[in-house]
A and B are shown apart, each in its own frame.
Chain A
Amino acid sequence: MAEMTYAAAGAAALSETMEADRTVWALGEDLGRGGVFGQYAGLEARFGAERIVSTPISEAAIMGVGVGAAMTGTRPVVEMRFADFALCATDELINQAAKARFMFGGQTRVPLTVRMPVGMWRSSAAQHSQSLEALYTHIPGLVVMMPATPADNHAMLKAAILSDDPVVYLEHKNLWPLSGEVPDDAAPYRIGTAGVARQGSDLTIVTWSATLHDILAAAGRAAQAGVADIEVLDLRTLWPWDKACVLQSVRRTGRLLIAHEAVVVGGFGAEVAATVAEELHSDLKAPVRRIGAPKLPIGYAPTLENEIRLGPDRLDAAIARMMS
């Protein structure tokens, strides 16, 4: 067992994978200085600039070089710095990486991990704060993963790098300093599995990424106030998502709330809600509901940014409504 931050857990996962497999390498802007958030700290000194490659500010070509190198038997980890910047490289990701295996009849694979930090983080404003997971879950041919804890960032990043699929790996910027136990002997993470973060019997809340921590706090308050005994599921992988885990939980509790930081309209919560509504209609004691950001650009001033956030008041009200 080691106590480490979410950022250090990511660095450790990459470091251990690079140690074990020389075909693993990383490229992106400023990696040599440890990445924007320290998630590559110490790696250049350890593995050299040939394997921890600092690139020009050229997102499309960074992604393209990663895709090409993945097709020829290496396992690149591509760093985009901000999910917002990765939009410059979506052609190479969506049109090339996601489709190569299929459109070439299975003759090539693209074992590529694309790290795109997401989320609101200290007034970063409209172009450095977005949670864009739904964009990628919509695309056939991509795996989408969103770790919420240091232990998961360690296990899930390793699984992403070892996967033969292109993985969009979305870390949350607000979680970088979060500290937690990272077990040395954890079982390998199986892509597509959710985690039960809290057991409960009255209401299932499905969430992911940083919102998990807000939900766990809200569930604690609800328990203390005697409002509800809440089961919290951390989806962890959004595609392919763990339908079985969600369905068995909602079958038991009869109530489902989905909470995410991203815009509610067209968010991945809609997919979870529709699936549960279709499969479990007669088991439901309340309508399935979603909670997330309004369909607005993220404001800079803390008052504006907080208006987008799922604060305790909004969460408590949503939970109370589910139980009424």
Chain B
Amino acid sequence: MARTPQTRTTRSRRTPAKSAAKSTASKQPDVSKEELLELYREMLLIRRFEEKAGQMYGMGLIGGFCHLYIGQEAVVVGIQAALTGNDKVITSYRDHGHMLACGMESNGVMAELTGRAGGYSKGKGGSMHMFSRQKNFYGGHGIVGAQVPLGTGLAFAEKYKGSDALSVAYFGDGSANQGQVYEAFNMAALWKLPVIYVIENNQYAMGTSVARSSAQPELAKRGESFGIPGVQVDGMDVLAVKAAAEEAVAYVRGGKGPMILEMKTYRYRGHSMSDPAKYRSKEEVNKMRAERDPIERVRQMLLEKLNATEDELKAIDRDVKAIVSDAAEFAQNSPEPDASELYTDVLVEA
């Protein structure tokens, strides 16, 4: 009888080692230059987009809550690289990066942040709530962990309809302590639903570290009692993420049920724009940026191992900056929604 793979933590390959950037850079990467350039471009787009969003928030152009993804870019870019266009994606309120990685337009995302009619939700959702049926992005959701049963439902519907699409439910280490996550795990395992649970362990649930909030801090093990295999992955290494995602996709699409990928990652900014993040030291953040940055790692690899030139990378930088700058301009010039917009899309029946 085939056994389900057990939770494993392959520290040598996937979990953060002290100088992971250097150790990866020391061997020849198993990736083409074109592919890595594309991953670089996607991560850089998220980074620059988020930096611009942070800047615009500071200028008062973006209101409400705004949760930046800076530092975590390798996670969503690596996972999305392993999916097909029909696969469904759902995530929390830290969702800008996921939308860009799903191929949603930066103009529409930024205009939603500024609350304009040209935003993905016509100004009705804001930073935390956007959606694209066309890109199979099923929303940013504002209640910690609530997207996990929904993502399980997306998987249920795909199985029910007989499609071979799967669902990826992203959530954080904070969500991992919400009860409904475990109800969903049980159902997904019981019914062998095609869902990958990606736990983005960025080390802090709002302002409380994983060590202070989790009795079992190895979150990849959280599915063990349901027989859900889990893998811990270096979420700062886009190639490690992509490789782990490819394995998970093969497992899940093969009808074996759900799988958990715990991404060990790090957010450079506070929980939201209103969080000065005083619960950790500047040194901790600076060290992470200096030694583990996911974009810098790929940049070094491109230059040192894949013969990319500074000019090629600069061209990508310019291209990305132009996209973000266009988005910022669009987001400031798109009209505000008319007050009458409030009365639409509530009920079909009334």
Contacts and interface: CB of A to CB of B under 8 A. Distances in A.
Interface of A: 25, 50, 55-56, 58, 60-74, 76, 91-92, 95-96, 100-109, 140-143, 163-165, 191-192, 239-240
Contacts of B183: 56, 58, 60-62, 64
Contacts of A143: 347, 349-350
B350 A192 contact: yes
B324 interface: no
Nearest to B337: A105
A244 to B, nearest CB: 13
Contacts, number: 155
Interface string B149-163: 111111111101100
A143 B88 CA distance: 28
A54 to B, nearest CB: 10
B88 A103 contact: no
Interface stretch (B133-141, B204-212, B303-311): B133-141
A286 B310 CA distance: 86
A163 B180 contact: no
Interface string B120-139: 11111100011111000011
Interface of B: 88, 90, 119-125, 129-133, 138-139, 141-143, 146, 148-158, 160-161, 167, 179-180, 183-184, 186-187, 190, 344-350
Contact of B349 (A62, A70, A191): A191
Given A102-B345, A104-B131, A240-B350, A64 B161 contact: no
A116 B20 CA distance: 54
Nearest to A58: B183
Given A68-B151, A96-B143, 14 more contacts: A61-B187, A64-B148, A64-B180, A68-B138, A68-B153, A71-B150, A91-B180, A103-B125, A104-B139, A105-B123, A105-B125, A140-B346, A141-B347, A165-B349
A219 B50 CA distance: 66
B138 A74 contact: no
- Among A71, A108, A142, chain B packs the most CB atoms within 10 A around the CB of A71
Contacts of B160: 25, 50, 69, 74
Which label, helix, strand, loop or mixed, suits the secondary structure of the B interface? mixed
A124 B120 CA distance: 48
Given A71-B154, A140-B346, A64 B124 contact: no
Report the 4 A-B pairs with minimum CB-CB distance, sorted nearest first: A64-B149, A68-B153, A61-B183, A240-B350
B253 to A, nearest CB: 17
A31 B35 CA distance: 49
Contacts of B187: 55-56, 58, 61, 65
A108 B131 contact: yes
Given A61-B187, A91-B143, A141-B347, A104 B130 contact: yes
B129 A103 contact: yes
Contact of B348 (A61, A100, A108, A164): A164
A65 B139 contact: no
22 contacts: A50-B160, A56-B187, A60-B183, A62-B183, A67-B149, A68-B152, A68-B156, A69-B153, A69-B156, A91-B180, A92-B180, A96-B143, A101-B345, A101-B346, A105-B121, A105-B131, A105-B345, A108-B131, A109-B348, A165-B348, A165-B349, A240-B350
Contacts of A192: 349-350
Contacts of A25: 160
Contact of B129 (A58, A67, A104): A104
- Among A65, A142, A164, chain B packs the most CB atoms within 10 A around the CB of A65
A107 B124 CA distance: 12
Contacts of B119: 105
Nearest to A101: B345
Contacts of A61: 149, 152, 180, 183-184, 186-187
A165 B347 contact: yes
Nearest to B187: A61
A317 B273 CA distance: 60
Nearest to B180: A60
Contacts of A76: 153
- Among B121, B152, B157, chain A packs the most CB atoms within 10 A around the CB of B157
A239 B346 CA distance: 12
A31 B153 CA distance: 18
B153 A67 contact: yes
A102 to B, nearest CB: 5
Contact of B152 (A64, A106, A141, A163): A64
B146 A107 contact: no
A106 B151 contact: no
A168 to B, nearest CB: 12
Contact of B125 (A60, A68, A104): A104
A92 B350 CA distance: 22
Given A56-B183, A63-B149, A108-B133, A69 B157 contact: yes
A105 to B, nearest CB: 4
Given A61-B180, A105-B119, A105-B131, A71 B347 contact: no
A103 B127 CA distance: 11
Contacts of B190: 56
